[in-house]
Structure 1
């Protein structure tokens, strides 16, 4: 079922309301694509099997020699250092602490409590600015921070763990507590978040036999358990009952829009309970439609069910549905993702939502005495190659996310709050909090650098030996995916010689490209004193468009070298094709035939 839309007119005589502007989005085509994605998200994606490869055809590559060059193009994740994080010398309150649910209400230390939170992801903000952004959250009137924990950030390789610098989760938790705020921790293992592979580490795609992600596949659960054996003990000291800031821990993420494997969800809940104990509130988040809540919640298990829904929906109807999936008296109304803006894909205009409309939607939630988490409070940046992508009903319906995660949030990507949305939301929140929030820090310094002039220094092909992990390449009879050769992100180059039957005008096609392939041919050119290699760009093959090129008609083809440079534009973080290896694999047919 879909919840009814709001009436065209609101009762403005009700205290605490502001006029609604009926046009929320101003995105053009990108709005319709995003709306479609939201509808698919709320309606679910079908079977929920991890390797969603329906419709693909297994084709074998002709046995031609392939040279694969793997680029050391930098880590998937940024590495930043900061000496400004808090030390262990924090004055913790040693009195008894409790955070629990009773009578459809959150209680903090025995008193009713309303969560006014916002998503602020530590991995999308330079640690140097963590405190600044958190102070702006307090200035907005918030009392809690919600953040995901990306598995791939902290375990980029099976034997490599990372909790330093920008991955310093414990440092972030200490800082939130230092500022007197609470934490809602979303530990996955899948997080979506417009983040590469939904937070899954890329090396999961190289495990054989193939894993069935987000299911009770024993091999998949074994790897999740091993990761959580590292993560969960780190969280224990920061639980609220242990004098820390963490009041709630979310398992999975909107699982009801993907699958219906209850035993998988029960396994995750049991694993967390075994380490974190019985006092911590575990929760799930799903879209406020019956199918999603039926599949994604753990009704009857003691795991609290929260909901999210578009800003145009009636919150009272959403919260009434939420109540059906929680035990009696255990359903305080919580919108755990109140959308302050929206994501942006490459080729779209930056998402913009109307500040007054957004503020009015927030007011309708707070008027019901509900709790709320702003998604996003501060979006930040997908540093390096960390942005993900979305897919629709077809593998070609591929929408990669941009580097910016500004989200049109009230705190802008650069930390700016001198915008109408921050002021509008602050005005609404101010009507529901007893104490005036503190003043924010000064606005960050901004500078216009003006036009930049770029100068070509070298061709990629002339520096391969310096940027490849192995300059000699990997020699194989069939191409392999990025993940199978331990390449996390960036680019991979496939090189072979054109077959003897190739000639000018021959057609080149690849059955599947993940995600964009630049095709080149090259050969030796003799000069007066030297012989050099010249590269000719044949064209581009893209996952979502053309899959055919033709060799130029004005070159002598025999003996030429064929180079296919494949770009990973971000592994799928949301959609039915989440099992998304990059590059080209042995089942992807390269054909060169006469036109």
Structure 2
């Protein structure tokens, strides 16, 4: 059986020096029918290893669950890596950051306010241990020592940027070894200050995360770890985007020069990201360092392999660098071909507020949304107000639309720091609340979502709220309630909040790029699959539709529009448009 170990200066594969040339692909951000294609293209760039995070909250949407079907079949993903002749690195967290909702930690975990975050608190350790046991049921049989592809296993993730609870790290080490991990364990941290030391233990191999000044960063790492192979566990060659900013890109030649410096220095590398993929559904995270900044749907990351799986200029620049140091396959992946363009118009629609939502009546103060048992998406609050005036909250997490007897009266945005809205005198108040993504980095991980009380109307607390989750897992309730739109041309538009439907014919599977000019904000579905959020503020102007979602014959398109559109049409564009990269 094969072996993998850490030597005095090198990684050792079957006792021979081995350089890890890895690329990050998050299986949970890629349609499973496309996994093999993305892995194959990584090998063609000259890589020998695939790295992936494991998202706890995605596998465990409710306590006690560990879902591994369809796009969450980690075992199948690792098997495909093995079939490609490549190795694998697994980074299960429990915290992963990854610009992913709540950094991968399940929101249900923190409905108990006594549970700690990334610490040796007993409640957190118990839940995290159960999760790790489920992960290792998949990973342990697939270690290289047992004929599988897995050569390394990470403990936590950039923990030195958050804390230094050594008992927590030791617990993860002991648990991993007890459950059968025999490949090398490692940690990764930024090579600054005390992060390397705070985020690791003496017997764990330490790696760095950085995207520039490679020689300086490697020297910093070597000072703190005199022996063992040098490795950049996250070579940042791109970046992610937030709504309302420009599209981030990095110069291909400059990134290739940094990669060359790493390889010339004898270091191993994991390219983050090799292929970014997509934040489908409500999976995007957010940052909050004083200003709340939700991450967009695309996770293209300006990676060597684009969001839709095609080589970029950076791909070929990296391939040329790797070829200077190691053999590279002769095969070259093809570039993107233009896809057919067309347009379609929604024909049926229903007001979101007309479709009943199962609500809970909560006596007392306004509650967070977690009490619904749903931890993502949209929620409806309802209350009876004694009159009109200024309605204020301690905080809104994250965006609230206010309606009085069905008529819109205002919007409050966490991003803009808004906390009060003027409500006219009238009848029933409804508040459509959007969770725009849980914070994935820093001290606000694990916070509650919703209208954060007290809710004060002219200084007097409003109590006795009803709250429920808007069920978007199935669109059947909206589909059956939708009625034909009144006659009019495309410019007639659609009022919001509403869910509208259209159908179109296709010859069979194939990538599409949805362009939503004239629509404002909401969510898009293709044959019931949640493609993610759209927002006219950009930067991205198209949503990626993975080819396997399109079927031969009739297909259904649906769009949740929160405000209103200037058109009834959407277009299939010739290719992606992720926005301007000009600052």
TM-score range, shorter chain: 0.7 to 0.9
Tell me the residue number matched to 2:293: 399
Name the counterpart of 2:219: 320
In structure 2, the residue matched to 1:589 is 454
SS at match of 1:574: coil
How far residue 305 of structure 1 moved from its aligned partner, in angstroms, is 0.4
Corresponding residue for residue 530 of structure 1 = none
CA distance in 2, matches of 1:579, 1:113: 40
Aligned residue runs from structure 1 range 415-494, under 5 A: 415-417=309-311, 419-433=312-326, 435-443=327-335, 446-454=338-346, 457-463=349-355, 465=356, 468=357, 470=358, 473-494=360-381
Tell me the equivalent position of 1:498: 385
In structure 2, the partner of 1:512 is 395
Q: CA deviation at 1:200?
A: 0.8
> Partners of 1:356 and 1:124 in 2: how far apart?
27
Structure-2 separation of matches of 1:286 and 1:204: 25
CA apart distance, 1:577: 1.0
Instruction: Provide Cα deviations, 1:251-294, integer angstroms capped at 9, x if missing partner.
Output: 111011111111111111111111124x3100101001132112
| Contact persistence 1:135–1:441 (CA under 8 A) | no
Q: Is 1:540 paired with 2:431?
A: no
In structure 2, distance between residues paired with 1:594 and 1:429? 65
CA-based RMSD of the aligned residues comes to: 1.8
**TM-score using structure 1 length:** 0.74
SS at match of 2:317: helix
How big is the shift at 1:488?
1.7
Larger RCO (CA under 8 A, 6+ residues apart): 1
Cα pair 2:74 2:138 within 8 Å, conserved? no
Contact 2:365 2:455 in 1 (8 A): no
Residues 194 and 388 in structure 1, CA contact (< 8 A), matched pair in contact too: yes
Give me the whole-angstrom Cα distance separating, in 2, the residues matched to 1:136 and 1:230. Answer: 30
Deviation at 1:449, TM superposition (A): 3.0
Distance 1:287 1:594, change over 3 A: closer
The 8 Å contact of residues 211 and 237 in structure 2, kept in 1 or not, is answered as: no
Residue of structure 2 in register with 1:380 after alignment = 277
Residue 421 (structure 2) aligned to one of 549, 555, 563: 549
CA deviation profile, 1:285-328 (whole Å, cap 9, x unmatched): 10011321121121x2x2110001232x2x222222222333x5
Contact persistence 1:215–1:264 (CA under 8 A): yes
- Which of 199, 210, 229 is 1:296 aligned to? 199
Q: SS at the partner of 2:148?
A: coil
1:347-374 deviation line (CA, Å, top 9, x unaligned): 1122111111111111111111111111
For residues 411-456 of structure 1, the C-alpha deviation after alignment (integer angstroms, 9 at most, x for no partner) is: 0001111x211111111111010x3314145446552535554456
Q: Counterpart in 1 of 2:163?
A: 259
User: Unaligned regions of 5+ residues in structure 2, if any?
Assistant: 461-583
1:256-295 map, 5 Å: 256-277=160-181, 279-295=182-198
2:395 is paired with a residue whose SS is coil
Is the Cα–Cα contact under 8 Å of residues 310 and 334 in structure 2 kept in the other structure? no
CA–CA distance in structure 2, aligned partners of residues 150 and 202 of structure 1: 12
CA distance in 2, matches of 1:487, 1:440: 45
TM-score computed with the length of structure 2 as normaliser: 0.76
Tell me the residue number matched to 2:83.
178
C-alpha deviations, 1:229-254, integer Å up to 9, x for none? 22213211111111110000001110
Residue number among 92, 102, 105 corresponding to 2:7 in the alignment: 102
**Total equivalences in the alignment:** 459
Residue 478 of structure 1: CA displacement? 2.9
Match of 1:368 in 2: 265
Q: Distance between the aligned counterparts of 1:244 and 1:594, measured in 2?
A: 63
Structure 2 CA distance for aligned equivalents of residues 352 and 448 of structure 1:
27
Q: Give the Cα separation in 2 of the matches to 1:145 and 1:509.
A: 49
Q: In structure 2, how many angstroms separate the alpha carbons of the residues matched to 1:576 and 1:223?
A: 20
Q: 1:155·1:161 contact (CA, 8 Å) conserved in 2?
A: yes
Secondary structure at the aligned position of 2:421 is classed as strand
Which segment is superposed worse, 332-341 or 454-463?
Answer: 454-463
Change over 3 Å in CA distance of 1:156–1:594 after alignment to 2: closer
Q: Secondary structure at the match of 2:436?
A: coil
2:208 is matched with which residue? 307
Please give the alpha-carbon distance, in whole angstroms, between the structure 2 residues aligned to 1:445 and 1:161.
Answer: 38
Partner of 1:59: none
Equivalent-residue separation in structure 2 for 1:187 and 1:111 (angstroms)? 27
The 2-side partners of 1:476 and 1:593 are apart by 20
SS at match of 2:431: strand
Aligned to 1:35: none
Matched, 1:146 2:51: yes
| Structure 2 CA distance for aligned equivalents of residues 486 and 446 of structure 1 | 43
CA contact (8 A) 2:360 2:372 kept: no
Structure 1: state its 5+ residue gaps. Answer: 1-95, 523-534
Q: For residues 120-155 of structure 1, give each alpha carbon's deviation from its aligned partner in whole angstroms, at most 9, with x where no partner exists.
A: 111111111001111110110000011001111211
Checking the alignment, whether the CA contact within 8 Å between 2:4 and 2:14 is kept in structure 1 is: yes
Contact 1:152 1:201 in 2 (8 A): yes
Taking the aligned partners of 1:591 and 1:258, their CA distance within structure 2 comes to 35
Residues 105 and 332, structure 1, Cα contact 8 Å, conserved in 2: yes
Match status 1:210 vs 2:88: no
CA contact (8 A) 1:491 1:568 kept: yes
CA distance in 2, matches of 1:580, 1:403: 22
- Of Structure 1 and Structure 2, which has the larger fraction of its residues in strand? 2
Mapped contact 1:345–1:400 kept (Cα < 8 A): yes
Structure 1 residues 453 and 348: alpha-carbon distance in aligned structure 2, compared to 1, 3 A threshold? farther
Once the 2 structures are TM-superposed, how far is the Cα of residue 160 of structure 1 from its aligned partner? 2.3
Q: Which moved more, 1:268-277 or 1:375-384?
A: 268-277
Q: Where does residue 430 of structure 2 map in the other structure?
A: 563
What CA deviation, in whole Å up to 9, does each residue of 1:361-406 have, x standing for no partner? 11111111111111000000111111111111x3xx1110011100
